[in-house]
Structure 1
Amino acid sequence: MVNRELAVGLIFLTQTTVGILGNFSLLCHYVLLSFTDYRLKSTDFIHKHLTVANFLSLLCRGVPQTMAAFGWKHILSHFGCKLLFFLHGVGRGVSIGSICILSVYQAITISPRNSWWAELKVKAPKYVVPSIFLCWTLQMVVNVIFPLYLTSTLSEKNITNKKDFRYCSLVRHDKTSASLYAALLSFSDVLCLGLMLWASSTMVFILYRHKKRVQHIQRTISSRSSPESRATKTILLLLSTFVYFYTLSSVFQVVLSLSDNPSGVLLNITAIMAMWFPTVSPYLLMSRDSKVPRICFAWARNIKSPRLMRNM
């Protein structure tokens, strides 16, 4: 039993550390961009908020899960427990919304100029910022309900009708209230997943048609992918990874919600599956974006330049 708890704790610790470092590095990359002449694109703005959401989700889920796995289960106050679940819910929701906005925006961007999306293609960059902030606002409104059902393991209230999550407890309410709240959360998730699948299929179709169209061009030209094509492939990779891990996480989350007294194994697997995408997504973005090392080195060189020092 002790060896199993130690192994689970090491898994949580590794996953949380790797994920936080990856998202923090990518966030620093976008901060460095603001000190250069590089102009942030709309996709960079979405990536930045996706990184913040993933960082928030890992911090509020991975850290307490790791501490609970190592035996520190009674560490959160009543307010701290509610705040962590609220912030994790917001981070998870914004992560889903950001991927959805990113996929839809890229599908519109790579569409042909003579398509019926031509007018929307010009206006799309203007809608990115309002869409992201609307996503944050909606997730805050939706997830503010969930802390009302929570109580800390430090709470002195004698509540017998509760579900223990090791570092927090969830008060069981009637089936009708639970079903309504689950439907409220699921609606936005299903809507985003539907838009993602539509956008991904559209992008695949556009890329396939473009490949067929340029087959007659010389191999030296056709073999070099355009920036739009590389960005689309990156988003498709990010999207497929998200759908895969989100589906696994949702299956375990449904099983967990239907269990009155979930086992430790089920709690651990559900938490591990929920943190996989926030952990791997920054590395997918950095591996596909060749600007990351170039911008960092360029910024380091500019720091040493006399002209920049004079301007500072």
Structure 2
Amino acid sequence: MLSLKNVSFFQAGIGILANASLLVFHIITRHNFHRPRPTDITICQLAFVHLVMLLIKLDISFANMFISLDFPIELKCKIFFYLSRVMRGLSMSTTCLLSIIQVITISPNSYLSRFKPKLTKHVLIAFSCIWSLNLCSNSILVIYTVAHSNRTNLLNVSKYCSLSSMNSVIKKLFFMLGLSQSAFFVGLMLLSSMYMVIFLCSHQRKSEYLHSMSISPRISPAKRATHTVLVLVSFFVIMYCVDITISSFSTVLWKYDPVVLDIQSLVGNVYASVSPLVLISSDKRIIDILKKT
């Protein structure tokens, strides 16, 4: 139990450092390069969302703030759990948006190409939509999140916080809302992944043809970026399926075992910790900055 918690905190520490570095690197590259990529602002939001997720996990910065302001423990629980759910939803929707932007970026002359000239404007509109969606869809949790007590009809969701039992109708509506939202974003990710796989396959055939013509093929920035986004989306879907399996099992039983809670926390933060490392290692601009330092 202790070793599992230590691994979880170590994971969160690595993730916080990586996401903070990714944000700083993108601020630097934005000043160094006059034409930033359309995906840059989305990657910045993804890094910020994951940074907040992992800070909540460590419960350091936020905990000190609430203690200094003398916040009641139940209000702290409501804010913490609400923020964590909102950030998890934003992680999913922002990853989905990143995959869609990459599809639009690599699309040839087609229906999607008409979005390219004003892609940044469309991205900002998409940001406002996904923030509004996640803030509103999780607002009901503020009502049902409570601090631990002696009541037996509580579902533990963290060390100090629980969910009180919901009315069956509200519970079904909340479940269907979350399920439909997840199905929508994961479905879009899978569709965009299929498109990117087709793009990579066609690019591979072109590379083989150039090689047969004794022309040295070079890995294009579009192919490199597409490969990175495809890795991120695939990894997210895998970890999301594992996380939702553990969460569904615990919710059906309406009981959280402490070990299961720690495992779910560990699994739920893997993507937030690994994704910035993937993005940093695959961005040639960041690598060039690191080489110069």
TM-score normalised by the chain length of structure 1: 0.83
- Compared CA separation, residues 46 and 221, structure 1 to 2 (3 A): farther
Q: Distance in 2 between matches of 1:95 and 1:164?
A: 23
Q: Distance in 1 between matches of 2:72 and 2:98?
A: 35
- Range that drifts further, 256-265 or 207-216: 207-216
Q: 2:41 aligns with which of 27, 33, 45?
A: 45
Q: Distance in 1 between matches of 2:205 and 2:291?
A: 38
Equivalenced residue count is 282
Q: Distance in 2 between matches of 1:261 and 1:253?
A: 10
Q: Distance in 1 between matches of 2:108 and 2:31?
A: 34
What does residue 168 of structure 1 align with?
161
Larger radius of gyration: 1
Query: Is 1:12–1:62's contact at 8 Å kept on the other side of the alignment?
Result: no
Gaps of at least 5 residues in structure 1 are: 68-74, 301-312
Q: How does 1:15-164 map to 2 (within 5 A)?
A: 15-63=11-59, 77-113=73-109, 115-153=110-148, 159-164=151-156
Query: Is 1:256–1:262's contact at 8 Å kept on the other side of the alignment?
Result: yes
Indicate the SS of the match to 1:42. Answer: coil
What does residue 198 of structure 1 align with?
191
Q: How does 1:275-294 map to 2 (within 5 A)?
A: 275-294=269-288
Q: Distance in 1 between matches of 2:50 and 2:191?
A: 24
One-letter amino acid of the counterpart of residue 139, structure 1: N
Deviations 1:107-143 (A, max 9, x none): 1221222x33332344434311111222112111112
- Compared CA separation, residues 34 and 223, structure 1 to 2 (3 A): closer
Query: Is 2:189–2:233's contact at 8 Å kept on the other side of the alignment?
Result: yes
What does residue 7 of structure 1 align with?
3
Q: Distance in 2 between matches of 1:217 and 1:144?
A: 55
What does residue 307 of structure 1 align with?
none
Indicate the SS of the match to 1:151. Answer: strand
What does residue 304 of structure 1 align with?
none
Q: 2:266 aligns with which of 255, 264, 272?
A: 272
Q: Please report how far the alpha carbon of residue 17 of structure 1 lies from its aligned counterpart in structure 2 after TM superposition.
A: 0.6
Query: Is 2:77–2:161's contact at 8 Å kept on the other side of the alignment?
Result: yes
- Compared CA separation, residues 266 and 192, structure 1 to 2 (3 A): same
Q: Please report how far the alpha carbon of residue 37 of structure 1 lies from its aligned counterpart in structure 2 after TM superposition.
A: 4.3
Q: Distance in 1 between matches of 2:204 and 2:274?
A: 29
Query: Is 2:86–2:134's contact at 8 Å kept on the other side of the alignment?
Result: yes
What does residue 309 of structure 1 align with?
none
Measured on the aligned residues, the alpha-carbon RMSD in Å equals: 2.3
Q: How does 1:229-244 map to 2 (within 5 A)?
A: 229-244=223-238
Query: Is 2:19–2:276's contact at 8 Å kept on the other side of the alignment?
Result: yes
Query: Is 2:5–2:262's contact at 8 Å kept on the other side of the alignment?
Result: no
Query: Is 1:152–1:167's contact at 8 Å kept on the other side of the alignment?
Result: yes
- Compared CA separation, residues 152 and 222, structure 1 to 2 (3 A): farther
Indicate the SS of the match to 2:39. Answer: helix
Q: Distance in 1 between matches of 2:167 and 2:219?
A: 55
Indicate the SS of the match to 1:59. Answer: helix
Indicate the SS of the match to 2:146. Answer: strand
Deviations 1:186-223 (A, max 9, x none): 21111000000000101111221232234332467553
Task: List 4+ stretches of structure 1 deviating above 6 A.
Answer: none
Q: Please report how far the alpha carbon of residue 63 of structure 1 lies from its aligned counterpart in structure 2 after TM superposition.
A: 3.3
- Compared CA separation, residues 178 and 289, structure 1 to 2 (3 A): same
Q: Distance in 2 between matches of 1:54 and 1:244?
A: 17
Query: Is 2:281–2:287's contact at 8 Å kept on the other side of the alignment?
Result: no
- Compared CA separation, residues 28 and 76, structure 1 to 2 (3 A): farther
One-letter amino acid of the counterpart of residue 41, structure 1: R
What does residue 308 of structure 1 align with?
none
How many percent of aligned residue pairs carry the same amino acid? 30
TM-score normalised by the chain length of structure 2: 0.88
Q: 1:180 aligns with which of 170, 173, 178?
A: 173
Q: Please report how far the alpha carbon of residue 101 of structure 1 lies from its aligned counterpart in structure 2 after TM superposition.
A: 0.8
